[in-house]
Structure 1
Amino acid sequence: MLRSHRASRLVRALPSTRRAAHDLTVLPSKPVISYGPAGRSAVSGHVATVFGATGFLGRYLIAKLAKGGTQVIVPFREEDEARHLRVTGDLGQIVPLEWDLRNEEQIRECVRHSDIVYNLVGRDYETKNFDYQSVHVKGAELIAQICAESPSVSRFVHVSHLNASVDSPSAFYRTKALGEEKVKKAFPNATIVRPGPMYGHEDKLLNNMAIWPILWKLNHGETQISPVHVFDVAQALAILQASAPLPKTLSLPGPTSYTYESIMNLIQNLTYNAPSRAPTVPKPVALLLARAAQLVWWPTLSPDEVERRYLSDVKVPGDWESLGIVPDELEHVAINYVRRYRSAANFAKPVEPRPHKAAGSYHVTE
């Protein structure tokens, strides 16, 4: 009793732990009280669940949330895949929970204490256990339904894709669009976020282009995309935790449109590597090879990914200004992600602004 009394006296004496009226935020479901020092060791009072946290975007979103003092529930399928996320927040802020996309009870447990839920779950290719329909449509619908039934969850953010369309020749884009419709029906106040192709340290864009340029010469490299920095998308998602009211749909394309060929030229100029002499493979041959490659056990270029290489990103204005974010230009930050592909002789060379085909000139500062 004496120890408890002394502890309570100490808490009252610390100005950093005092709670004031301005620290109180009343959500539709519960009051949220923040206290403690600002930054990583703060306690914002918010609890967020990030489904798909072990993916590319998930790690950056969790780092943004945890830095502001939010406790983050991290659902995982394999424990080793979530291990690196433990250090993104202070002690007790990152809470890993095992889950399965088809297990309703596990999903309920993951969202039981959360006031905001993010659904980042998605697959670039299908497997025998999880196809596009089960992940992008049925899985998204189930998570949204359970969140709508949860008394604590007042905000639901669903990450789709910039090219989501029910009329798309790509099954990936079609199921993304169908998933949006199911989520809106299950959780009417949900926010749909549609980012463009993302790039960063662990991306499947710049890294893949640097290693396998032949896979990006489909359609003669003329397909146009609007790549966006994963840091910017993570920042946008983190802002949605505090913004009120939430927007219904956010389109987050990159600030500049590029062809595959222009991005590969940019990578070659930054890495000082010779241009690829790989031939352009016709679409029927690429589809045939992709179907044959599915017989191996490791993930390769799927037939649907071949289809997507021929589909340019839709031209829509971005909603960055409404979030107060100025997205990064690919040409300004690409050196951070492709320098590793330089040879030892060229690794320390400065970046020299040089013109490259179909993209004008670029200016990169180190």
Structure 2
Amino acid sequence: MLATARQLPRALSAQQRRGLTDLVTLPNGKPAIAYGPPGRSGTNGRVVTVFGSTSFLGRYLIAKLAKSGTQVVVPYRDEDEKRHLKVTGDLGQITPLEWDLRREDQIAECLRHSDTVYNLVGRDYPTKNFDFNSVHVAGAERIARIAAENGVTQFVQVSHLNASPSSKSEFYKTKALGEEKVKEAFPNATIVRPAIMYGHEDKLLNNMAFWPILWKLNEMQTKVRPVHVLDVAQALTNLSIIPSLAGSTLNLPGPSTLTYEYLLTLISHVTYQPPSKAPVLPKRVALLLSKLSQKALWWPTLSPDEIERRYIDDAEVEGDWEKVGVRPDEIEDHAITYLRRYRSA
């Protein structure tokens, strides 16, 4: 028994020895030590902050980062909205911190230990507290500026494929203006422009299955390039280990260009539901009903800007998927996974 006790310190010291493979070089050139086995139960030495962590894309990005052993700081506004993120990583991997977009001290607290910052914050519709400009432009510039002041070496701004300063949509316009402000505050920032995303909690396939009449605008001929949310999350995860892409703008459209008519037909076939016979609303009538519903109802409805977006085709640009090491999937390969629950039987 005495010999075993004497051998214990020697055994522990042998287990605690480190190899050169445990030394990780961060994008800023600083060294970090990896602990434990590779993967979820280990630590790769990286610390990442994901603003917009409770969003549709945020949950998948955090899960992939945590799975690789990255410690993820999760800023949140509502206690209940971040609970599901705690189990995406092992014990101690997910660090939730309360924040407000207008509180610079809270933003600094969320990113002061991080080497990489992702900004996924966005609004699909304006509210009395946060309009498009305060979130997509002023808010993005504020986060980027504070990140630069605190020595963050990698900043990733998630925009939209259709971002344009001359767009008829205020959403797309402010996304483009936000890119410019981020570049001014953080010149080496990486801009990522994904197309509309689909997945389990999306606002594309689910809304089409539940409210097909709202997608019949423009005679259902609007062209979109939907992309799988898991593909976008993987691309963003890969960016954290590809420092050569810093300062570039990456377009991430889906592999195919489809119309709303095609998507509604696909949903009808997968769910075994007959196509909707609802009439196609003229744009003026849809805008009028949208404005009235926003004044009469307290819960979010289809905003006038969202109706404007239903008439705008996705930009026909070349995708940059090879640069991030991802091959995007076709929507037909995953439609049944997310639409099976809408079958009556």
TM-score, with structure 2 as normaliser: 0.95
Measure, in 2, the Cα distance between the counterparts of 1:13 and 1:198: 48
Measure, in 2, the Cα distance between the counterparts of 1:9 and 1:219: 74
- Structure 2 counterpart SS, 1:245: helix
> Do the aligned residues in 2 keep the contact of 1:19 with 1:34 (CA within 8 Å)?
no
Q: Quote how far apart the aligned CAs of 1:187 are.
A: 0.3
- 2:183 — aligned with what? 184
Measure, in 2, the Cα distance between the counterparts of 1:107 and 1:6: 49
Within the alignment, does 1:107 sit opposite 2:107 as a pair? yes
- 1:233 — aligned with what? 232
- Structure 2 counterpart SS, 1:250: strand
Within the alignment, does 1:56 sit opposite 2:76 as a pair? no
Deviations 1:169-192 (A, max 9, x none): 000000000000000010000000
> Do the aligned residues in 2 keep the contact of 1:111 with 1:117 (CA within 8 Å)?
yes
Q: Quote how far apart the aligned CAs of 1:273 are.
A: 0.4
Measure, in 2, the Cα distance between the counterparts of 1:70 and 1:92: 10
Deviations 1:152-203 (A, max 9, x none): x110000000000000000000000000000001000000000000000000
RMSD: 1.4
Distance 1:18 1:287, change over 3 A: farther
Q: Quote how far apart the aligned CAs of 1:317 are.
A: 0.8
- 2:331 — aligned with what? 330
> Do the aligned residues in 1 keep the contact of 2:38 with 2:44 (CA within 8 Å)?
no
- Structure 2 counterpart SS, 1:294: helix
Q: Quote how far apart the aligned CAs of 1:244 are.
A: 2.1
* Counterparts of residues 1-366 of structure 1 (less than 5 Å): 11-14=12-15, 18-27=17-26, 28=28, 30-151=30-151, 153-247=152-246, 248-295=248-295, 296-344=297-345
Distance 1:236 1:6, change over 3 A: farther
> Do the aligned residues in 1 keep the contact of 2:24 with 2:44 (CA within 8 Å)?
no
Measure, in 2, the Cα distance between the counterparts of 1:10 and 1:175: 60
Q: Quote how far apart the aligned CAs of 1:325 are.
A: 1.0
**Structure 1, unaligned stretches of length 5 or more?**
345-366
- Structure 1 counterpart SS, 2:187: coil
> Do the aligned residues in 2 keep the contact of 1:100 with 1:106 (CA within 8 Å)?
yes
Q: Quote how far apart the aligned CAs of 1:343 are.
A: 1.0
Measure, in 1, the Cα distance between the counterparts of 2:24 and 2:226: 36
Deviations 1:322-346 (A, max 9, x none): 22211010011111000000011xx
Deviations 1:234-257 (A, max 9, x none): 000000111122241110000001
> Do the aligned residues in 2 keep the contact of 1:145 with 1:187 (CA within 8 Å)?
yes
Measure, in 2, the Cα distance between the counterparts of 1:60 and 1:326: 17
Report the residue type matching 2:290 in the other structure: A
Runs of 4+ with deviation above 6 angstroms: 5-8
- 1:347 — aligned with what? none
- Structure 2 counterpart SS, 1:72: strand
- 1:351 — aligned with what? none
Distance 1:266 1:6, change over 3 A: farther
> Do the aligned residues in 2 keep the contact of 1:210 with 1:341 (CA within 8 Å)?
yes
Q: Quote how far apart the aligned CAs of 1:39 are.
A: 1.6
Q: Quote how far apart the aligned CAs of 1:293 are.
A: 1.0
Report the residue type matching 1:275 in the other structure: P
Measure, in 1, the Cα distance between the counterparts of 2:20 and 2:147: 29
Measure, in 1, the Cα distance between the counterparts of 2:173 and 2:9: 57
**Structure 2, unaligned stretches of length 5 or more?**
1-5
- 1:359 — aligned with what? none
- Structure 1 counterpart SS, 2:172: helix
> Do the aligned residues in 2 keep the contact of 1:50 with 1:119 (CA within 8 Å)?
yes
- 2:3 — aligned with what? none
> Do the aligned residues in 2 keep the contact of 1:18 with 1:35 (CA within 8 Å)?
no
Deviations 1:278-322 (A, max 9, x none): 100000000000101111110000000000000000001111112
Aligned length: 337
The structure with the largest helix share of the pair is 2
Measure, in 2, the Cα distance between the counterparts of 1:108 and 1:333: 39
Measure, in 2, the Cα distance between the counterparts of 1:12 and 1:132: 56
Distance 1:123 1:11, change over 3 A: farther
Report the residue type matching 1:221 in the other structure: M
> Do the aligned residues in 2 keep the contact of 1:29 with 1:154 (CA within 8 Å)?
no
Q: Quote how far apart the aligned CAs of 1:38 are.
A: 1.6
